[in-house]
Amino acid sequence: MITKEPSLPPNFIRNIIEEDLKTNKYEGRVATRFPPEPNGYLHIGHAKSICLNFGLAVEYEGTCNLRFDDTNPSKEESEYVQSIQNDVRWLGFDWKDRLFYASDYFEQLYAYAVQLIQIDKAYVDDLSAEEIREYRGTMTQQGKNSPYRTRSVDENLDLFRRMREGEFENGSRVLRAKIDMASPNLNMRDPVMYRILRSIHHRTDDRWCIYPMYDFAHCISDSIEGITHSICTLEFEDHRPLYDWFLDELKVYHPQQIEFARLNLSYTVMSKRKLRELVEQGYVAGWDDPRMPTISGIRKRGYTPESVRNFCERIGVARRDSMVDMALLEYCIREDLNLRAPRVMAVLHPLKVVIENYPEDRVEELEAVNNPEDPGMGSRKVPFSRVIYIEREDFREDAPKKFYRLAPGCEVRLRYGYYIKCEKVVKDEQTGEVIELRCSYDPETRGGWAADGRKVKGTLHWVSAAHSIPAQVRLYDRLFVKANPVEEKSDVDFKSYINPNSLEILESCRVEPSLNNATSGNRYQFERLGYFCVDSMDSRKGQPVFNRIVTLRDTWAKIEQKEKM
């Protein structure tokens, strides 16, 4: 469970809450909610909202409800309800017994709608959807009243009851709030409150054929639950007058709506509709594909909940829209795993090295430190023998001056091992490809240090050929090549910016034998390569599958700089 952190920096929402606590506005209560629509999997933007709402509840010893905004039956599925609960729990938050559904309030919402009709603040309209749009006007042009706006209260009550009873066709009538067709705010031009829709609802089945609209259902749900601070994203700012209008006209308990800027993250897209497009059209393997910005994708990729919460705290909350660099999310996971993930050796592109002066039957157990950042993590033994693998790119035959790795005639250090020197290069006769190196080792350099103090230019990771185990490694990269794949005022499909190299599968990697016991979800630093996580679906004992969470350094910053040059 998450507990209150001692000194969190102020932000404008914390300031509002502190002020309300001072004036005792809600008798000292802080009650928030996270209200997802179950029409897709949650993404990292939702994580910001979850951390904010649940985080404030923890901080001020208040409550946070998980409320499914399930007023739109044609788009919602129970699968999403389940996944959303998993995701919130994984992030480390607990709604206790405060799980609600807007559909729990359908009967009450209906009663409130009747109440608005009775005070002549709502009416049944027979205009078609098309006509309603026409009558509404535009930003520069006033709307005009529907000819049905003047219906009597009794007629409206009768028609609304019959709407509920299923007497009318889908879409033939709606219930509208009677506000002001000349309002400069389009949301106030008699917004629709109810529509007729015959659809099976995941909880109320076919009991209803009319469904409330978001703006009507949301404020009332907040009011029923006694929410104090109803926190939502900026696009709802123009809806706030409507939020207030409904609650004021009904004279019910009135929470305060507060808007903040939504999270936009570079090199990805952040709308459920677009993410669904990627899933349904097969651009990714599913909602939880490790390249997706969904919480389930991030989890499968190997991110820790701590790193995501830390990211959300770092980006803070503001009232202005901005784009957060993906590099910050990556920084947060590196920072977390640097301290926690054991370091191991793995070779992704193996090149065979035979140490000619090392006895054939000898195996040494070399002492390797598990994490230099944390001596408490101890050490392990890594077997060393005559035939080892090193990384193919750690050898260059025509090495330039600044190549600090292995080259003919050069000496390097094997991590935790010995100094080795490249004596001979064996090539494939047909292709000329380097297939093996013949090296010598200096027995006086055990542990990686020479008694005579001579230095080498580099240190390589390696595994013993006979002792290492085979592994599949999946290198994930950013899903898009463009920082902002969704261009405003452009016809270019965001999918045309998909990174063609966002997934590379390496089938013949070798990892040190200690990884034989790696289990689903374990995270490691592969020395010099990055952070990796055991795949939760495809990994088997003796045949592990690893997902790369992130590289050790921000390689994208370099690429971008090169592009600018």
With both helix axes pointing from N to C terminus, report the angle between 44-59 and 78-90 in degrees, rounded to the nearest 10: 60
Residue 263, binding choice from ligand ATP, Mg ion, none, Cβ under 5 to 8 Å by partner class: ligand ATP
Residue number, 34 or 395, with CB nearest to ligand ATP: 34
CB of 71 to ligand ATP, least distance (A): 11
Q: How distant, in Å, are the alpha carbons of 5, 407, 500 from that of 399?
A: 52, 6, 30
- Bridge partners (DSSP) listed for residue 486: none
Task: Using alpha carbons, select from 337, 136, 100 the residue that is nearest to residue 222.
Answer: 100
The tokens describing 284, both together, are 């990714």
Residue number, 43 or 467, with CB nearest to ligand ATP: 43
CB of 438 to ligand ATP, least distance (A): 56
Q: Of residues 25, 29, 37, 144, which has the active-site annotation?
A: 37
Residue 242, φ and ψ in degrees, nearest 5: -75, -40
Residue 344, binding choice from Mg ion, ligand ATP, none, Cβ under 5 to 8 Å by partner class: none
CA quadruple 221, 225, 231, 232: dihedral, nearest 10:
-20
CB of 293 to ligand ATP, least distance (A): 9
| Residue whose C-beta lies closest to ligand ATP | 45
75 sits near Mg ion (criterion: CB under 5 A): no
14 is catalytic: no
CB of 45 to ligand ATP, least distance (A): 2
Residue 434, φ and ψ in degrees, nearest 5: -70, 120
Q: Please state whether beta strands 210-212 and 192-196 pair in parallel, antiparallel, or not at all (unpaired).
A: antiparallel
Q: How distant, in Å, are the alpha carbons of 268, 369, 486, 522 from that of 492?
A: 15, 51, 8, 40
Q: Which helix (H) or strand (E) element contains residue 308?
A: helix 305-315
Residue number, 218 or 510, with CB nearest to Mg ion: 218
CB of 227 to ligand ATP, least distance (A): 12
CB atoms within 10 A of CB 142: 13
d(CA 14, CA 26): 15
Asked if 512 contacts 346 with a C-beta cutoff of 8 angstroms, the reply is yes
d(CA 370, CA 316): 34
CB of 235 to ligand ATP, least distance (A): 8
Residue 46, binding choice from ligand ATP, Mg ion, none, Cβ under 5 to 8 Å by partner class: ligand ATP
Q: Of residues 272, 299, 309, 343, which has the active-site annotation?
A: 272
CB of 38 to ligand ATP, least distance (A): 8
CB of 287 to ligand ATP, least distance (A): 12
Contacts with ligand ATP by CB under 6 A lie at: 35-37, 45-46, 48-49, 232-233, 262-263, 270-272
- Those residues whose C-beta lies under 8 Å from the C-beta of residue 48, and which sit 6 or more positions away, are 262, 263, 312, 315, 317
User: Near Mg ion by CB under 5 A, which window of 30-38, 283-291, 456-464, 506-514?
Assistant: 30-38
Residue number, 69 or 527, with CB nearest to Mg ion: 69
Residue number, 11 or 199, with CB nearest to Mg ion: 199
How much is the CA Rg of the chain, to the nearest whole Å? 31
Asked if 177 contacts 122 with a C-beta cutoff of 8 angstroms, the reply is yes
Residue 232, binding choice from ligand ATP, Mg ion, none, Cβ under 5 to 8 Å by partner class: ligand ATP
- Those residues whose C-beta lies under 8 Å from the C-beta of residue 379, and which sit 6 or more positions away, are 367, 368, 369, 370
d(CA 299, CA 47): 12
Q: Of residues 14, 262, 276, 438, which has the active-site annotation?
A: 262
Residue number, 36 or 92, with CB nearest to ligand ATP: 36
User: Near Mg ion by CB under 5 A, which window of 35-43, 199-207, 283-291, 351-359?
Assistant: 35-43
37 sits near Mg ion (criterion: CB under 5 A): yes
Residue number, 71 or 310, with CB nearest to Mg ion: 71
d(CA 437, CA 355): 8
Total residues contacting Mg ion (rule CB under 5 A)? 1
3-state secondary structure 206-237: CCCCEEECHHHHHHHHHHHCCCCEEEEEHHHH
37 is catalytic: yes
Residue number, 241 or 383, with CB nearest to ligand ATP: 241
CB of 97 to ligand ATP, least distance (A): 21
Residue 270, binding choice from ligand ATP, Mg ion, none, Cβ under 5 to 8 Å by partner class: ligand ATP
- Which residues in 355-374 contact Mg ion (CB under 5 A)? none
Residue number, 39 or 472, with CB nearest to ligand ATP: 39
Asked if 215 contacts 191 with a C-beta cutoff of 8 angstroms, the reply is yes
3-state secondary structure 376-423: HHCEEEEEECCEEEEEHHHECCCCCCCCCCECECCEEEECCCCEEEEE
d(CA 344, CA 512): 7
Q: Which helix (H) or strand (E) element contains residue 526?
A: strand 523-526
Residues that bind Mg ion (CB under 5 A): 37
Residues assigned a catalytic role = 37, 262, 272
